[in-house]
Structures are given as structure tokens and as C-alpha cells.
Structure 1
Amino acid sequence: MKKVVVFILASFLVVSGLAGCASRSADDAEGKVKIEFFQYKSEAKATFDELIKKFEMENPGIDVVQSNPPDAETVLKMRVVKREIPDVMGIGANFTFANLANAQIFEDVTNNDLLKDIQPAYIQMLKDVSGLEKVYAVPFAANASSVIYNKDMFKELGIEVPTTWDEFIEAAETIKAAGKIPFYFTFKDAWTTLPSYNALAANTQGGQFFKELKKEHATFAESHKEAAGKFMQLMEYGHKDQYGKAYSDGNIAFANGKAAMYLQGIWAIPEIKKANPDINLGVFPYPVTDVPGESKLVSGVDLLLAFSSRSEHPEEAKKFVEFLLADENMKTYINQQNAFSARKGVIQEDPVLEGLKPSFEKGALLDFPDHYVPIAVGLDKQLQVLAHNKDVNQFLKTLDKEWTKVQERQ
């Protein structure tokens, strides 16, 4: 998975002599060690401020400086080129991570004891995304793409939580027949096409799809036809202005009872509750196939913690990550951020998320397919076009064409 950017980064490191340089973490006049924690989640800044304050009280000889700039991943890549690499980095398990791991920016933690209690599925996801056998980060928190539903509306209409695709569509038909909106779509924001499509594709494309795609042994036209078809089937149960509504509009509309189901990630729940604290919510995994219990939950590493391979303070950096992984601190994060822990034994206890617990307990998890699709392919934009034009064959043909273009530029 060595993209052009990886080659450029790696070449720069060699030419500039960065391989022998350490990140510059200036220590203060009192002799305290300063380390930088760079993380990309703006919504988690206050949570990390709280945790950092606690860490510094327990470790008075270490100061942690949190960096959380807008467009953080772009900023991080620019800082790598400028040889300003933070001691600890918190990003997602996506193409940015893959590129930087391949450029040897991160410390190898394959045999590090920090991984001992991490869910194996999440460790494997890091390997799959990077295309490397070694592990270059510690999975910290996970999110999930699920169906969020209004429990009161389901009860009113006598609908049970569906466990198969046919039951899912039957539930949508029942809701529609009652004069209500089954799904609230927000396609003004192209990325909101992804949560539902990720679940459909992950459960139907085959476990080796992207590996086979890179070898030219598979195509989107063949392997994503079922997912695209089912995506279009869901469109039949939306509302009239689904291309004119944005993500924030959808959160408020769903909170106010405008639809029975919302095809979003669990990250939307705090915003929904903010709009209506009294709403009675539940969640369930997308039932993509017609075999009960066969569909897996799409859950990826939303936040991983990686060490700079050139940090001047590796021991202090590790101590900070050990602190974040401790039960009490991990619970603070997952409770405030409505996330799931990547560590075994640290349970998300929010009753709203009860419907996803069996999937986590069984390890019945699949990664987000869009994590493997280069940004240049524009999966979200292509889905936005598909939702509007309803031409499945053209959508799949375009994905194959754009994928090939990216591969040829490598």
C-alpha cells in the first residue's frame, strides 16, 4: 500500500537525514519534560484536556502539550515534511495512518505490552489498512456504523428490531404505510452516504476484496453490485428533500421525531440527545443478509495512538499512553465521546448502545470499507451521484475507473 505520498515522504526522510533526527520537544526551565500529543478529534479536545490535567498531577515531572488544529491530518503530513513530528499522535486507522506507517514515521509496537489487552480484530485492522505485517500504533477507541432508531415509534407501530434484510425492508414498509418517514437522509453532505454503504459493502464484498482488487482479480462492478443495489433500495424509504438536508439538519429532525430510523454512526447520538434529551433511542447492527445473526457490525479504529519513531522522550510518551489506556481513564473517554473501547474488558455502559454489545462481545466486527478507498476515488461523492441519478451500473463503472487511475499513478 505504498502510495506516491509514501515514496515522497520516505525519500524526503532519507535526503534530509531525518532518519537520524529526533522530534524537538523543548523542556521547560524547571527541568520538566515536555511531550506533544497531537490528535485529530476536535470534539475530544476538552476530554483530553481533562485527562492531561490528571496525568500531570500524577506525573509532576512531565508536561503534555495537546495540539488539535483544524484539518489535523493535513497539518500532520505537513509537519512530517518539515521534520516537526509530535511525540504521540492520535489519528484514525485510515489512509493517512497507512501512508505515515509506510514512511516509517511511527514506532514499531508489534511486541509492545501496550497491545496485550487490545481486541485482536482492531490490531488486524491496522495491519490491513497499512498493508504491513508489523503494528505501528495502539488502537484506543472504536466507533460503529449502526441503525439508530426511535424506540417509541417502533413500539407504537408494533415493530420488532429486524435481524434480516427482508425484516428490515418490511419494517420500513410498515413505517411508510403508517404515513411516517422510515429513514432520514442528509445527502447535502456527501459523507453521510457512507455509514449505510459501509455496512452494506462490508457484509457483501467478501473478506479479501481490497487485496484482490489491488491484484486486479476483483472489481467494484462484481463485488459491490449487491451493496449498491441495496443502497438504492433504502433510498425508496427516505423523504422528499434528502439532497437538501445536511448532517446537522438530520440530527435535529430525527431528534424531533421526523423519522423512525437514522442511518448514521453512533457519533451522532450525542448531537441527537442535545436536540432532544428525552428521546428514547436504540441501535442495532445493519441486518444486511437474510440469515439471522450473520451480518457483522461495521466498527473501525476511530482513534489510535502512535509514537514518533524519533521522539526524544520515548519513556515519557509511553507513560502517557499507558495512563490513557488505564480502565478509569479509558472509561472517561468512551463515556464522554460515546465511543467503544478497543481494550477488552472496558465496557461502554450507555443503555442506548445495548444493541451493539453482542457484536463486540463476539468480535463480530468488520472494518469500514471506505478506509481502504483513496480520497481521490471520491467514494462519498460517487454515492451522492448514485443517490441522485439512480444508475448503479454507472456508479460501479466509475469506481473501477477512478480506482485504476489511482493505481496507475503509484
Structure 2
Amino acid sequence: MQKRALTRRSFLSLSGAIAAGLALTGCEGQRSDGKTEIEFVSYKREAVSIFEALMAEFNESNDHIYLNFTSPNDAVTIMKTRFVREDYPDVVAIGGDASYADFVDSNILADVSGYPGMAKVQPAYQEIMKSVTYVPMDGIYGVPYIANAAGMLYNKDMFAEKGWDLPETWDEFIDLCEKIKAEGEVLPLYLGFLDTWTILSPWNSMLVELVPSDHIRKVNAGEATFADYYREPAEKLLKLLDYAEDGPMAYSYEDACTAFARGQSAMFPCGSFAVPQILSANPEMNIGLFAMPACDDPDDRIIVSGVDLCWNMLTAKEDHREQIYEVIDFLNEPENLQTYCDDQKAIPCIEGDFTLDPLFDDIQSFLDEGKVIDYPDHSYPSGMACDAQLQAFLLEKDVDAFLANWDNLWQRYNKTVIRKYAEYMANQG
């Protein structure tokens, strides 16, 4: 395994300004009341009320730590700006995604593999945190807290009324779509591909079943091309258009959530993160989630599940490690974690006797068996705008041109990561 990367991303290469002054007295982080202030900055705006309540509960009961938990708009941009100014919070709460990989690569995040509570984190999500980094790394640089899942959302009541079975293979899925289309009462699918990121939901769900889990690292190592892997998922993604609304690129994510909530479609290829939005349009809707049946063998089905929220300690604040761990212990207490899961329709990354929302009934066995893989797009370079490339492909419908363009763009926008991987492999002998 590679040790900590020494390079910094461009947003960290600027000369740091003096840290913004804190409204405290004495040494850094020390309040006038004698408590040590621990600052968490979270990107989960939708959960702000939950964390404000937990912050109040913690501060009322703790006599030596004051928890300051904020969830600003555009939180990741604010985090990066504060890093440039060397105005570091103690913890950033983000997902296990490309931003996490950037922060690890920039030597911003501390290794928390020694956190005692890590033993309670499900191994599958520990592995996901390790897999997100650009090259294999020693350690884990975030404590997984909450996960989500993607696949095919479906209208449980509609399926029960019509007597439709959940498809387990691609052929069964197409047969079901054909049946629903022939009946003509509702659409089989609603897509809402105006917001390009929504295309990544079915794309990710197909990739994890149809291509090797290490395909991106093989491409970065020069051992393969995306054209070797992406033809079948591209063709199947294109096939979804036959069963969806006319001109899905004209309808937004919100449009799709609303249409699905109103019963205009039987299914919606998205994830658990969409359910609160759907329920806002129809609070009584009975929603289920099943694994995307993109494969030919039911045993090859896998759930896309990523770490939606993890606690990441800053290297600049390692002197507060003991206090930070105490706060994380509190947030990870089963009753607090259950509260979050109930409100946000989320999956706990912590092992324990938790009650999941009925939304997850059809994928419970996948979660229990650890048949989960992280979202492949978490390893896509942001500059390449991969979601926009997929939208352009669905408009042009030229698979060969799409594959060639994807490989060309990958080499252009992923040069730094490819170089790092080459250095890593060379160092491994």
C-alpha cells in the first residue's frame, strides 16, 4: 500500500492566509467557559434539523466539549475555501466520493483507522472508503456513518394490484416493461434526464453487474480501455428510452420524482436518496427498491451502495483527536443513528440491531451479505463531465462514437491520476 500522498491539489497550492479568528479566548479551540470547541462542517443540508437537535443534546450533557455543527449551502466549496485560508474545522462531514479522494490526496484528512469505533463499521463500507482513493492507501481517512442505495424504485401498491413480479434478469425486466407498455395505463419508467446527474443512477447500477469492479484501475494502468467494458451497459442504458416518457432530456429530476409520485410510471431508476423528494409530492406512496436486473444470472445482481456521510478529521486538528472521537461516539450511538435513518430513509454503516425503512425490504439480503459496490462514478474526474457525456450519447445514439470519445476524454482529463497510478505501480516493483 502507498503511504500518504505528498502532493496538493491546485485549490490548496495557494499561500495560506492567517486562519480566521474564532470567537474564543485562550488557546485555539478553547472557549471562555473552559470547554473545547469542536467544529463539524457538513454537506448534508437536508439533515440540518437532525444535527442541530443532536448538537443541542450533546452540548447540554457534556461538561468539557462544545459541539459546533453547521451545514452551510455549497458546503464543499466552503470547505475548500477554508482549507486555502488554513482556517480548518475539526471535522468535515462529506460522502465517500471524489471530494473525499481529493482531500485524501491533498494530505488534508487524518488517518482514523485507529478509531476504536471503527470495529463496529461494516467491513463492506470500510472497503468502499479504501476503494475511493485514486491509488491504494494505507489507513482509512473517514469514519463511515450513513449509506444509501441505488437500483430501481417501484410503486409497491401498483405492482401488487397488477400482480407484477419483480424482475431478476435483464430479459425479465424487458418483458415486464413490454407488458406495462402494452397495457398503456402508465409508463414503465420515468427518467427525468434533463438533470444530467440522474443518468448516473441507472448507469452505475448497470456497471456494477456488467463490468469488473476494478475496471477503472485497469484502464488507469493501461491494461484495458473503456471500449472493452462499456458497450453492453451503453446499449442497455439506451434501451431504457423505449419505455420512458417522450423526450426525457426535457424533464428534470424534480419532474421525474413528481411524475412517479403521481403514479404516472411504475418504476423510477434512481436511489434511496430520492425518496424524501418523492414523498413530499405523495406522502402516502408505498415505495420499494429492487436491484437493477441488468445481468442474465440473478446471482450476479449487486446493489450500488455508497457512503453517503462519513466523519473526516483534519490533519491540522489531530491534537483534538480524543475530543473528536468522543463526539463521533455520541453521533454513532444507536438511538441517534436510528433517528437519522428514520428521517432520511438511510442505511447505517454501523453494525447493530437497526430497523430499516420498508423501502429496503427487497434488498435486505444484499445488505446482509455485503453484496454492495460503491458508485463507479465516484472515480470519474469531475472535469470530464461524464454525466453530460452520457446525456449526449443518449441524444446521438451512436455507441461506437460514445466509446471512442469516452476513452479519449478519459486520457485527457485523468492524466494526473494515471500518472499517480503509474508511480504507485512502479513503487510496488
Same fold (TM > 0.5): yes
Unmatched 5+ stretches in structure 2: 20-26, 418-429
Q: Is the 8 A contact 2:12 2:83 kept in 1?
A: no
Query: Is 1:177 aligned to residue 182 of structure 2?
Result: yes
**Match for 2:195 among 173, 176, 189?**
189
Q: Is the 8 A contact 1:199 1:286 kept in 2?
A: yes
Q: Is the 8 A contact 2:5 2:107 kept in 1?
A: no
Deviations 1:183-205 (A, max 9, x none): 00111111110110001112112
Query: Is 1:376 aligned to residue 348 of structure 2?
Result: no
Query: Is 1:387 aligned to residue 394 of structure 2?
Result: yes
Q: Is the 8 A contact 1:330 1:346 kept in 2?
A: no
Deviations 1:177-226 (A, max 9, x none): 11020000111111110110001112112022011011111111111111
In structure 1, the residue corresponding to 2:93 is in which secondary structure? strand
In structure 1, how many angstroms separate the alpha carbons of the residues matched to 2:166 and 2:129?
32
Equivalent residue number for residue 21 of structure 1: none
**Match for 1:59 among 47, 59, 62?**
62
Deviations 1:38-59 (A, max 9, x none): 1111101111111111111221
Query: Is 1:77 aligned to residue 95 of structure 2?
Result: no
Query: 1:29 Cα shift?
Result: 1.9
Equivalent residue number for residue 24 of structure 2: none
Code of the residue aligned with 1:29 in structure 2: it is S
Stretch of structure 1 that moved more, 98-107 or 318-327: 98-107
Q: Tell me: CA distance 1:362–1:28, structure 2 relative to 1, closer, same or farther (3 Å).
A: same
In structure 1, the residue corresponding to 2:243 is in which secondary structure? coil
Q: Is the 8 A contact 1:340 1:348 kept in 2?
A: no
**Pairs within 5 Å for 1:159-178:** 159-178=164-183
In structure 2, how many angstroms separate the alpha carbons of the residues matched to 1:117 and 1:220?
37
Q: Is the 8 A contact 1:282 1:354 kept in 2?
A: yes
Equivalent residue number for residue 6 of structure 1: 8
Query: Is 1:277 aligned to residue 279 of structure 2?
Result: no
Q: Tell me: CA distance 1:205–1:3, structure 2 relative to 1, closer, same or farther (3 Å).
A: farther
Stretch of structure 1 that moved more, 35-44 or 201-210: 201-210
Equivalent residue number for residue 44 of structure 1: 47
In structure 2, how many angstroms separate the alpha carbons of the residues matched to 1:275 and 1:17?
47
Query: Is 1:87 aligned to residue 94 of structure 2?
Result: no
Equivalent residue number for residue 258 of structure 1: 264
In structure 2, how many angstroms separate the alpha carbons of the residues matched to 1:120 and 1:267?
22
Query: 1:171 Cα shift?
Result: 0.9
Query: Is 1:151 aligned to residue 156 of structure 2?
Result: yes
In structure 2, the residue corresponding to 1:305 is in which secondary structure? strand
Deviations 1:118-165 (A, max 9, x none): 111111111111121221111111001121111222233321011111
Q: Is the 8 A contact 2:12 2:84 kept in 1?
A: no
In structure 2, how many angstroms separate the alpha carbons of the residues matched to 1:138 and 1:40?
15
Stretch of structure 1 that moved more, 149-158 or 43-52: 149-158
Code of the residue aligned with 1:278 in structure 2: it is E
Stretch of structure 1 that moved more, 205-214 or 274-283: 274-283
Equivalent residue number for residue 33 of structure 1: 36
Query: 1:346 Cα shift?
Result: 4.4
In structure 2, how many angstroms separate the alpha carbons of the residues matched to 1:30 and 1:114?
29
In structure 1, the residue corresponding to 2:298 is in which secondary structure? coil
Deviations 1:359-402 (A, max 9, x none): 10000001100000011111110111122221222222221111
Q: Is the 8 A contact 1:139 1:305 kept in 2?
A: yes
Deviations 1:4-58 (A, max 9, x none): 9835467668x9999xxxxx85433212221110111110111111111111122
In structure 1, how many angstroms separate the alpha carbons of the residues matched to 2:300 and 2:151?
15
Code of the residue aligned with 1:125 in structure 2: it is I
Q: Tell me: CA distance 1:133–1:187, structure 2 relative to 1, closer, same or farther (3 Å).
A: same
Equivalent residue number for residue 138 of structure 1: 143
In structure 1, the residue corresponding to 2:316 is in which secondary structure? coil
Q: Is the 8 A contact 1:5 1:99 kept in 2?
A: no
Equivalent residue number for residue 235 of structure 1: 241
In structure 1, how many angstroms separate the alpha carbons of the residues matched to 2:301 and 2:152?
13
In structure 2, how many angstroms separate the alpha carbons of the residues matched to 1:331 and 1:54?
15
Equivalent residue number for residue 326 of structure 2: 319
Code of the residue aligned with 2:243 in structure 1: it is Y
Query: Is 1:203 aligned to residue 209 of structure 2?
Result: yes
Q: Is the 8 A contact 1:255 1:279 kept in 2?
A: yes
What count of residue pairs does the alignment treat as equivalent? 404
Q: Tell me: CA distance 1:185–1:25, structure 2 relative to 1, closer, same or farther (3 Å).
A: farther
Query: 1:403 Cα shift?
Result: 0.9
Stretch of structure 1 that moved more, 361-370 or 351-360: 351-360
In structure 2, how many angstroms separate the alpha carbons of the residues matched to 1:95 and 1:82?
22
TM-score where L is the length of structure 2: 0.89
Q: Tell me: CA distance 1:25–1:213, structure 2 relative to 1, closer, same or farther (3 Å).
A: farther
**Match for 2:354 among 342, 347, 353?**
347
**Match for 1:114 among 105, 110, 117?**
117
Code of the residue aligned with 2:402 in structure 1: it is F
Query: 1:317 Cα shift?
Result: 1.2
Identity of aligned residues (%): 34
In structure 2, how many angstroms separate the alpha carbons of the residues matched to 1:175 and 1:4?
55
Stretch of structure 1 that moved more, 68-77 or 357-366: 68-77
In structure 1, how many angstroms separate the alpha carbons of the residues matched to 2:111 and 2:6?
22
Equivalent residue number for residue 426 of structure 2: none
